[in-house]
Amino acid sequence: MSAILEIRNLTKRFQGLVAINNVNLALEHNEILGLIGPNGSGKTTLVSLVSGTLQPSEGSLLFEGASIQHVPAFRRAHLGIGRTFQIMRPFPGLSVLDNVAVGALFGTSGGHHRLRDAQEEAHRCLQFVGLNNRAAQRADALGGPDRKRLELAKALAMRPRLLLLDEVMAGLNHVEIEEVVGIIKKVRERGISILVIEHVMKAIKHLSDRLVVLNHGEKIAEGKPDDVLNDPQVVTAYLGRKRI
Amino acid sequence: MKLAQQLALAAIGVAALATVPWWGSAVLIQFGINALILATLAQSWNIIGGYTGYPSFGNSVFYGLGGYGTAIAMVQFHLPFAAGLALGAMLAVLFAFLLGLPVLRLRGHYFAIATLGLAEVMAAIVSNLEIAGRNVGLVLPLLKGDALFFELSLGLLALTTLVVAWISRSRFGFGLVAIRENEEAAAVMGINTTLYKVLAFALCSVFTALAGGIHTYWITYLDPDSAFDISLNVKMIIMAVFGGAGTVFGPVLGAFLLSAISEVLASRITSMASLFFGLVIVAAIVFMPRGFADLIRRFREVGWRYFQENVKAHRL
């Protein structure tokens, strides 16, 4: 099995601050990789580097074996990289349906070219995330949990091969988390590889095949969820050192 | 109402307007030409300002280039009017591409301010060009035919509105609206934002330049100050926003209504006309900030509470 995404020696500096420091990472085909780390550890920066909204300072990115670090964001979307935003960014003035239709109109390999096809696809995606009854509403009329679903539906409508999920479960209750976990598992069954950033530890532990831990922009652990979460370095990063 | 029904209604309106030169007075026809030109300008601005969300103050440059293209072709090269229009439109599109690429990288206020300077620069350049008649300007051959100019302006407005109607239901238009709503998210979803913005700018420049060419031939004269007049750009924006920016018929409605209001005010209370015109606009912004099109759509559901809600939203 070859990697769908390979991150090699990736570094991102914002003036003096090193947000991502020499990170190496590989995401296998059809894998769910969980990316965790304390606040400010560089998780969202990493996703932005992969999706193309930020340019790396050093290192390289390979998508399906081809270098993409000089490819603009919109073309990465055409290649099959879809993402959601942690700070949700719907197109507020558009209806929920049309928000998703934008994903279907553009997205992977240029998307649908006819508006009607795109809207049909958007309906299917909304049904998939359970938001079909809100299709006609304006996106800015949605509440928090529904906005998370909308983000997910928009990314799915792009028909991505690699999906980057930036905290799609934050702020949801237990029942809603269960639902989203179910949706993500179903997405994987379609053959999509997924990188999940999450703070909800219990959910990500059950969801991920592997976990990677970032701290201060560096990768400090990688492996099976149970092993990683018991790694003393990881425990220290999250809880601080034990002082006796 | 569905877009198809609205377009059918608009077609009837166009047919009715087309008869005006047969029965209207000279004053009415001249008022009509001005209103139609202004509506075309507001509708063109709608493409870049309303749909793409880039509040351009550079549209008066397109207007001026359209006028100068027409005047230079007709006066200096003795070419027919159509060739002049084509030259003006080509100049405007060239300008839209050359300046759009750097200027459209700026957003919001920065974009507005950057484009604000363009008209001044163009006026200064043209004032020093022999071929454009320096700061004296150019006088075009006289063509007595207000009816012709009326029908031309009406045709151009209809064409511009059709293009905007297509934009509102097309993949291209969805791309523009996505850019307006959130440019970063639009790029991540696969929209070539730079290309789309420049195309929108160029499309808007074509219709603005054509309107400029028609108007210039009609009044048979232009100089740098009247061609690159920034207050004309302000008018386009006010009319488009008054009617409803980002809607298909809003800018046309806004241009017709405001033209009529300003005409009535100017004939009744000549000295205070612009003061009252200003009051009308302030009232419109307070009571219906999303424009006339939104008022029509929502008034039926909400009734008079519509105005109340808008005033409340302002206080917050």
For residue range B238-254, list pLDDT tens digits in order: 999 999 999 999 999 99
Q: Is the model's pLDDT at B142 over the cut of 90?
A: no
- CB A74 to CB B190 under 8 A? yes
Q: What is the dihedral of CA B9, B15, B16, B18, to 10 degrees?
A: 140
- In chain B, domain spans: 3-230
Measured between CB atoms, does A242 come within 8 Å of chain B? no
Q: Give the helix ranges, DSSP H, for chain A.
A: 43-51, 73-79, 96-105, 115-129, 144-157, 174-189, 201-207, 225-230, 232-239
- pTM: predicted TM-score of the whole model, two decimal places: 0.90
Mean pLDDT in residue range B134-145: 85
- CB B189 to CB A85 under 8 A? no
CB pairs under 8 A between A and B: 83
Residues in A closer than 8 angstroms to B187, CB to CB, are 52-53, 72-74, 77
Q: Is the model's pLDDT at A52 over the cut of 90?
A: yes
**DSSP secondary structure, A208-240, as one string:** -SEEEEEETTEEEEEE-HHHHHH-HHHHHHHH-
Confidence at residue A16, expressed as pLDDT on a 0 to 100 scale: 84
pLDDT bucket at A40, cuts 50 / 70 / 90: confident
Other CB atoms within 10 A of residue B2 CB: 7
Q: Is the model's pLDDT at A44 over the cut of 60?
A: yes
- Dmax over Cα atoms in chain A, in whole Å? 66
Measured between CB atoms, does A56 come within 8 Å of chain B? no
CB-nearest to B193 from A74, A154, A158 is A74
- Alpha-carbon gap: A244 to the closest alpha carbon of chain B (Å): 48
The ipTM value here is: 0.89
**Residue B290: closest C-alpha in chain A:** A93
- CB A53 to CB B188 under 8 A? yes
Confidence at residue B122, expressed as pLDDT on a 0 to 100 scale: 92
Measured between CB atoms, does A135 come within 8 Å of chain B? no
- CB B177 to CB A91 under 8 A? yes
Most confident of the ranges A176-185, A219-228, B38-47: B38-47
Mean pLDDT in residue range A65-77: 93
**DSSP secondary structure, chain B, as one string:** --HHHHHHHHHHHHHHHHTHHHHS-HHHHHHHHHHHHHHHHHHHHIIIIIIS----S-HHHHHHHHHHHHHIIIIIS---HHHHHHHHHHHHHHHHHHHHHHHTTS-HHHHHHHHHHHHHHHHHHHHT-GGGTGGG-EEPPP---HHHHHHHHHHHHHHHHHHHHHHHTSHHHHHHHHHHH-HHHHHHTT--HHHHHHHHHHHHHHHHHHHHHHHHHHHTEE-HHHHT-HHHHHHHHHHHHHH-TTSSSHHHHHHHHHHHHHHHHHHHSGGGHHHHHHHHHHHHHHH-TTHHHHHHHHHHHHTTHHHHHHHHHHH-
Query: How many percent of chain A have pLDDT more than 90?
Result: 53
Contact residues, chain B to chain A, C-beta under 8 Å: 169-171, 174-175, 177-178, 180-182, 184-193, 246
For residue range B69-99, list pLDDT tens digits in order: 999 999 999 999 999 999 999 999 999 999 9
For residue range B174-193, list pLDDT tens digits in order: 999 999 999 989 999 999 99
Query: How many percent of chain B have pLDDT more than 90?
Result: 66
- Alpha-carbon gap: A74 to the closest alpha carbon of chain B (Å): 4
Confidence at residue B316, expressed as pLDDT on a 0 to 100 scale: 47
**Residue A91: closest C-alpha in chain B:** B181
CB-nearest to B190 from A78, A91, A114 is A78
Measured between CB atoms, does A51 come within 8 Å of chain B? yes
Mean pLDDT in residue range B273-302: 81
Q: Is the model's pLDDT at A175 over the cut of 60?
A: yes
Q: Which range is least confidently modeled, A10-24, A176-190, B278-292?
A: B278-292
Selected for mutation to probe chain A from B51, B105, B180, B188 (highest A CB count within 10 Å) is B188
